[in-house]
Structure 1
């Protein structure tokens, strides 16, 4: 079943609530508690250091506790007071109002493609004829099929319908805490674009609802850019058939230009470049003409983007539904063939291939991927309603008729010079290199899912999967690493995320027991349960605003020039935050074929997983250039680890008295 949407029983009554619910402010954790938890999180690293480097554990841990005490009694206390004062001056949230987006995203200069943007591949729409899905559709214009446009139009309508229902409080009403947090978060994903700037990017200011650009989406077709009006001047949503008609007009315009031999400079590829390079090119592009400045503003202020690809990546490589075909689908959503026909700065882009395969890709800084995934589930849970469109045969007949031309769309053609042409060529080459190095694939583990983990093993599904990932890492690398897991702080106003430090003393002890021969089955099971209990405790603390990594970030940023702290200068401080296993759970993923995000470390993995009742989808990205990583080999190790854990739990359940 897809995610259930929270409906208000009486939207009008919700609007008249005299005392609206308010979310509490994100707390600043207690300084002593954070420092003690932090030192405790170093224990597995120090245990390993003792074995590998001969550094005595007891002496090393005492030294860290001493540094923590010095920090707490000295400059750390001043930093805590400064952070509290900053919180008092912050409108909503000491973290999000001041430095989270900047430090986590906008100061990062790496290209967004693969490295930062998330991607999500949808299941096919069952109403689309089979021959279309199989790539045998001939009806279309210059590689863009009519069914492709129809599915795109339907998804656009459904996303906008969700947005309107949310604003009208028909779903996620403001009378619930979930509704309040969700609405505040969703507001960040529409009408938003990342703006390249030197050293640190920014988010574009959102237009007023009456601004003409707030009625538009941006449509990209083979690097041609169009604006499509999806709301009328009175604010009412255009119906699906009319959205399709307007998109078809843009497709027809593209077809006429393509047939005449016209080729546009692929300006969108500049958004795939290193951020400071793009910032320089952005300034030059905007300065070339008032027309360019207007187009950039339209793209930034539009509701979201849509890309129609005149291809289906990997169509001939295998039948629909094979692992190879699914992975090719993921690759196209992630980056397209070569990074073209995308505007990577846009917060949300719907992507539809010629055979109607579809997905979404987004810029990460406005909101975290769970939020758009909920919107996308709403968009695709209902298949195309044929009753809202004219028969497909009539679309084909009418495509060449000038009588049926409509308004509500426009070309967005940039003025370019020689510098821009050269810049696009350079950006294209760099994007191709990033794509070629991305070892990205999904593995559908079908042996069991959350039902077995909860009902038979009686364990937390998320913690179970986290342990499997750590065991798989050790199997493939023979060492331990810091593990990052995302948890939402949605209990709080403008809450974003906190880190769960999943690698713990207990997870380390359990993994060593699994890799050795001396521990009994009973002992291994006891250690597994303890590791999962510890992970669950850390998850609850982080979700409740009592995590440590955001607080540590805030404390370090409160240091004045010349102020130092031994605890922060310690090499383990950086090592314990070098997330070679960067992980995040999304949802059950009933409507998603796969998802993903890039590995933050060149010798690590970026892992997004979807735990369904009867399966788990492991979506893994690493780098081909690293000899230490292999997505396929890691998939194999994860599957082995999951089955090892099932066998362990099953043996304990079946033969408790014999162990």
Structure 2
């Protein structure tokens, strides 16, 4: 008889991230600098062919000489690396951990959630003080996030038989029970605890600047998540304790502000803080080992509705002057809820890219607060609760002296300066979205949005700039990201055609087609391990200058200029469950732009600096809206022209 048993599918294994071919990377690099050389020529610089020939000569010399040595060293490093040459050796350090700027705005990402329609309207009108519905939504979101984590770990979601499952499980694991620890020169990550360790079964919450630990797993084998009702009860008890402390006149020392300081300043302060007492060592260790953070802000920024409401919500999630001490900026994932139950998340960027926590958040937000999971559909007012029960939570206090109180005050002043200079905003374009783009152009909506940003930037600055777009290399084992260089000779030609009144609409449409095609080709190359920027970084790091090795290619000012990303951009999901998202500009005179492209709308999160006279978030927003409308007009007009032309010949 034929057996009816089935064999479980074998888990997939992802290929290693390749080391690209040296000659191909150099050729692609030369192509990428062509628009810069054309711009230089147009503004009185060297003729294009002379300038290009010089760079081609340097590339040839590099390929024939020290470049091949660097390539061989990179290949040897890859063979000695457990996962790949990039992630195992230098990407996280060079991209993140060696940066000494504050994480606040400069590195951490932020994400504003849509309101929960299961929460009654009256609860959304509260604007001050910790509220019962605020606690309930916080408990619900934590529970949902940890349910996703557990189901992913058990392979009930995205199993290892799919590439997405392998990539997502590895990436999501880096969101939890870890923290960035400041160190001289280069930060490190805390060592992840074993899941059976008590600290790994806790979250930490921040209330009025005080920190508490809450166990959220039953210490059984296997570990099981406590019910959301029990989680809410424990959190309410900790909130009651914080409220009592506040009512008695006690005031939290704003240690959280120290984590928003420069990394060198935080390094020195943390070391001294840990040297002060064993209690400080314990508190810091629990925070590092805890699964995630939950911050209850004590005031809802107003207004609550409209465009100003969107902006105030997003900026409060990013951190505002009133809540900067109510965060630990070193943690990869913090859920934030204000008294009106508006919520969002923020996180330290280095363990995983913002796409990963956004996937987790989307899953958590699909189901709003379900009353059937709680003892009562309406949480009881805090006034009716007895004195704080001391079970199910613990204080995570700090022992500080007058010196540290002064350090915290100074850190708050510096954080306020960063926040006050951050021109962060979110804008919704609701005239059309990806459905219309795909139907009208039959090309990538992402490439289309990137061309929008090229045109908008040029309209505001009268110049072009190197533009960074994130591409995920998720098809490879421990793949992270690669750069898509949006500023190309094709995008330049199209933008110039759009601002030249003598260029016909049909010519502009043809130029747009070429620009979109070029961008899509670069996107495919980047996603499939054939990008150039990570490879160029690796080659440069393989040089041995102390041994006299040098490369004119890398010493060229254009090499650096082509990587000066005054436009730093990234697209996430359709974002139906998000109000907006954002991250900081990479350069003081640039923009950080995150966008959510849905079928019928596009949401843009834009950040720049008020202190720079050459940038304006509102100004760029207006230019983006104008570019989106101009491009639709162009596509509709040229489509109509084609029809008219065909009709005239009948």
Counterpart among 618, 623, 627 of residue 637 in structure 1: 623
Give the secondary-structure state (helix, strand or coil) at the position aligned to 1:584: strand
Unmatched 5+ stretches in structure 1: 1-11, 137-141
Cα distance in 1, alignment partners of residues 385 and 20 from structure 2:
65
Tell me the residue number matched to 2:559.
573
Moved more, 640-649 or 392-401: 392-401
Cα distance in 1, alignment partners of residues 139 and 226 from structure 2:
11
Tell me the residue number matched to 1:33.
24
Tell me the residue number matched to 2:272.
284
Counterpart among 243, 246, 263 of residue 255 in structure 1: 243
Counterpart among 452, 465, 481 of residue 481 in structure 1: 465
Residue correspondence of structure 1 range 170-185 to structure 2 within 5 A: 170-185=156-171
Cα distance in 1, alignment partners of residues 374 and 428 from structure 2:
35
Tell me the residue number matched to 1:89.
80
Give the secondary-structure state (helix, strand or coil) at the position aligned to 1:269: helix
Counterpart among 46, 71, 74 of residue 55 in structure 1: 46
**Structure 1's 348 and 593: CA in aligned 2 closer, same or farther, altered over 3 A?**
same
Cα distance in 2, alignment partners of residues 117 and 397 from structure 1:
33
Per-residue deviation at 1:57?
A: 0.7
Unmatched 5+ stretches in structure 2: 646-650
**Structure 1's 169 and 392: CA in aligned 2 closer, same or farther, altered over 3 A?**
same
Cα distance in 1, alignment partners of residues 424 and 6 from structure 2:
48
Give the secondary-structure state (helix, strand or coil) at the position aligned to 1:387: helix
Cα distance in 1, alignment partners of residues 520 and 355 from structure 2:
20
Cα distance in 1, alignment partners of residues 41 and 383 from structure 2:
75
Per-residue deviation at 1:393?
A: 5.3
Give the secondary-structure state (helix, strand or coil) at the position aligned to 1:622: strand
Tell me the residue number matched to 1:215.
201
Tell me the residue number matched to 1:298.
286
Residue 653 (1) aligns with residue 644 (2): no
Tell me the residue number matched to 2:69.
78
Give the secondary-structure state (helix, strand or coil) at the position aligned to 1:553: helix
Counterpart among 365, 376, 385 of residue 350 in structure 2: 365
Give the secondary-structure state (helix, strand or coil) at the position aligned to 2:381: helix
Tell me the residue number matched to 2:110.
119
Tell me the residue number matched to 1:468.
452
Moved more, 636-645 or 384-393: 384-393
Residue correspondence of structure 1 range 423-502 to structure 2 within 5 A: 423-502=407-486
Q: Which runs of 4+ in 1 moved over 6 A?
A: none
Per-residue deviation at 1:459?
A: 2.4
Tell me the residue number matched to 1:377.
362
Per-residue deviation at 1:127?
A: 1.4
- TM-score normalised by length of structure 1: 0.95
Cα distance in 2, alignment partners of residues 643 and 278 from structure 1:
46
Per-residue deviation at 1:518?
A: 2.1
- Kindly provide the CA deviation profile for residues 396-443 of structure 1, in whole angstroms up to 9, marking residues without a partner as x: 3784335x9362210001100122111101110000000000000011
Cα distance in 2, alignment partners of residues 458 and 476 from structure 1:
29
Cα distance in 2, alignment partners of residues 396 and 651 from structure 1:
60
- TM-score normalised by length of structure 2: 0.96
- Kindly provide the CA deviation profile for residues 303-325 of structure 1, in whole angstroms up to 9, marking residues without a partner as x: 000000111012xx3xx430001
Per-residue deviation at 1:342?
A: 0.3
Tell me the residue number matched to 2:126.
135
Counterpart among 488, 493, 503 of residue 504 in structure 1: 488
Per-residue deviation at 1:640?
A: 0.5
Per-residue deviation at 1:658?
A: 5.3
Cα distance in 1, alignment partners of residues 45 and 143 from structure 2:
63
Tell me the residue number matched to 1:66.
57
